[in-house]
Chain A
Amino acid sequence: MASMRDIKRRKGSIQSTQQITKAMKLVSTVKLQKARNRAEQSNPYFNHMYQTVTSMLARSGSLNHPYLKPGNSQKKAVITIASNRGLAGGYNANVVKLITGSGMAKEDVQVYMIGRKAKELLVRKGYEIKADYSDVIESPSYDDASMICKEVLEAFSKGEIGEIYLAYTHFKNTVSHQPTLMKLLPVEFDEAELKEADSNVLMNYEPNEEEALDLIIPKYMTSLFYGALVEAVASENGARMQAMDSATSNADEMISDLTLKYNRARQGSITQELTEIIAGAEAIS
């Protein structure tokens, strides 16, 4: 049985760890609320964007636009959004798993990385990191998103990459976050959705459809990407909040366990002392 002093020391260390996890939980709760508000505020923009682009494509199915066909290259660009910090449960590992488990050959994947933690994991697994924009995740802005999208699109137009994917964590609600791998280019939509959009009014385009597509598709990509960034920040803080919440309650459990052990040890030592005194007294008399 561990000595009283050992138990006490261990209890103290767990208590101070618990204080840290508790503080981290509070911090990420606040950050989560902020990030969630941002994600909600940007939602209408993406919904409209999606609707507009679907209805455009529904009417221009026969268009021979480069953004609607896969490029000649085998290479696939994967824009990966994870976090710069750990201690968020399985958050980073889940995003990485999404890429390793996607069935894409390692040699064909070029990763555009956001998030240092997941980058370390991917480098260790032998993926090629084409570019690293980890600082963006600290405070996602639409400008950053459009800058990164421009670079990826350039590589696509030059024929360096044939397809563009986006790997991020979708924020469903505070407790549920879904790692998602989404195809950005070539643009693809469900047939059913296209038909639904098609029933809308006949739309005119100015300048002509092809030029409009040229301008709108990069914007569409950027907005999806920006939306993913904002959601990823919310998911990260949500994941950290959960992780820290369970760490705090685990610490509680351990502390109550150790308190019990400590009390038992103290009682044991008192009983032992008493027995010794009584035995000594008896020996004298």
Chain B
Amino acid sequence: MLDVEKEYIKLGLKENEFEKIKGFLKRNPNYLELSIYSVMWSEHCSYKSSRPLLKNFKTTGTYVLQGPGENAGILDIGDNQAIVFKMESHNHPSAVEPYQGAATGIGGIIRDIFAMGARPICSLNSLRFGKIESSQHQKYLFEMVVKGIGDYGNCMGIPTIGGEVYFDKTYEGNCLVNAMSVGIAQQDRLMKSKAFGTGNQLVLMGSSTGRDGIHGATFASDELNEKSEARRPSVQVGDPFMEKVLLEVCLELIEKKLILGLQDMGAAGITSSSVEMASKGNVGLDIDVAKVPLREPSMVPYEIMISESQERMLALIEPSKFAEIKNICNEWNINCEAIGTVTDNGLYRIFKGRELLGEIPVKTLTDEAPVYHHEYEKPKYLQNISDDILQEEDYKKIEKKYSHNEIFKRMIASPNICSKKWVWEQYDHMVQTNTAVLPGHDSSVIRIKNTKKAIAFSCDGNGRYCYLDPFRGALIAVAETSRNLACSGALPIGLTDCLNFGMPEKPGIFWQFKNAIDGIINACETLDIPVISGNVSFYNESFGKAIHPTPVIATAGLIKDVDKIIDSAFKDENDDIVLIGRKINNESVNDNMGGSEFLEVFFEKVSGKCPDIDIEYEKRLQRLCLDLIDGRFIKSAHDVSSGGLAVTIAESCIYGKMGAEINASLLGNNFLKTFYSEPQSQILISCQPENLEKIEKYCIEAKIPFEKIGKVKGTFISINSEIKIGISEITKIFDNNIEKIMTH
């Protein structure tokens, strides 16, 4: 017999938490019960550090059918249709076993979507690694994560349509793998996960249960260090074929109205999914571990209860429906066993046959789980970051060392700027034949068959900005996703987030977290975008060093008329190129190089002031862009972001396979500041010359500055006569640089 007094620490519980458990049970827990508490009270499952702050998000709005709290959030897109989506992190598993870690991250988030009764229609992901140019290990992580995501999604037949990839030293010891899945459902077929009805049964469907992923949730709630390698067995193994079959079975059961509720089995396996169902329905539950189909017959009850074997779902059913459900599962050759029964005693009881192995009041695992209000304090590093980062001499030095063409090429070649084609060509991004805007543009667009509608998605986060100012950095992330959507003609209607931070017990980290949350709240209220789902990932540290705070935002937008979708590519020779939003007279706003890619490429530092943003102004700009698209006045729109205006121009040229002659007014007479700083709230558009006057009128009305800066022309990009380079040359650098680095 194990001495539980000694075991609780190994399971990741704190002393006060162990005392609390004894108080709830009025006795010592046995090892099984202790294991159940440890996984349910892990940060990963309980959100014990973040819950008090997340409560403040705006979670309701015109389009919201379901906010946070279910497997995923739901938005109303009209015609009795709904979209269901959520983003989730799988950082730690991917750091120690990148292929399976990433694959099962995708698998998990896809199950969350079909648990709601929705058919998954696309996936996106947000990835961050250390610098791939200088480290074989970072290349390996990057290569295997991409392969893991691709192999899983491709086999499932769900297109991976977009996302983002960043490389920065800060992620060297702790990569970020955030995955998002989106589904579509008929509103009257939506599922919930609440358990109800004494005597109803819980049916386990899908894979057999093995020893993989034991204590995975606890692993996720700890920092990474030299011992992490030993956690590789905590990483689960994915089987996308099983998941594809499970998906079809679940949707068939819903279609035939055979089940009353559905829940994905993710972190903490049977325990977490069944406890959550019971807690939501305020009922008790009896689970019989003897009924669980096992891969290894010698597994003991606690292993069965917390195994994180993948591709399993739990359904609530009336006992009379079991035979029919079993038949359908047999037709598809998957397991189907009734492992639990709903009771009215509020207790979570675990049996093996008739033998009672453990008994815990359900609510003590969920609502009464510990909540921590961590202390916070502005971190010291912020005192050492100066606002004046580059002096005139610094710019001159760079200009002396490199020609403007060289500077431009170096910027385009940066792995953070250049095309991520190497990534998305490994993802099937066209299956289901709905992808109306292929990856690479500001947002990815999925049309909804048999309607005029489309849904657009954009995913963004900037760890550098957030490191310099978590409030503004998070606000910018929301604003940028929303601006990206506006650039394709989509009205933002809801978002999901993945908040990646270090250890919440450190006051400096919690300050970052708190400020980032406030930034998101601020942006969401002004832009009127509700948060409908999300995930918090703490403990993103290695050897005591935290990553840059990295809140990742993914926003969904609604397009009413697919024929009006535009992208960022220049379209026709002689079209006018116009920059809207640039406040020419307010230099302090515009010439900031803080946190920019330029600063990283040429000085290898993260410093300065995070770009300023006026969110009310931003809102007007986005509204204006949507109006211009709706009126069909513009042919392309591209948001100015990482890398600044020069990069934005280059991308529109490269995507359009056309040149441009640019002559923009300089800010402070400084070419580099003008074209490589990263001011917010600017959009580069192109239009037929006939429409120029109309566009100007719209801009004046919206009080948004307007400047015609050039024309689409020829086969060269020429910028203020300083840069002149052929489209084919720059395209080669842009398209191939990642592949070049990866094969080097």
Q: Do A and B come from one complex?
A: no
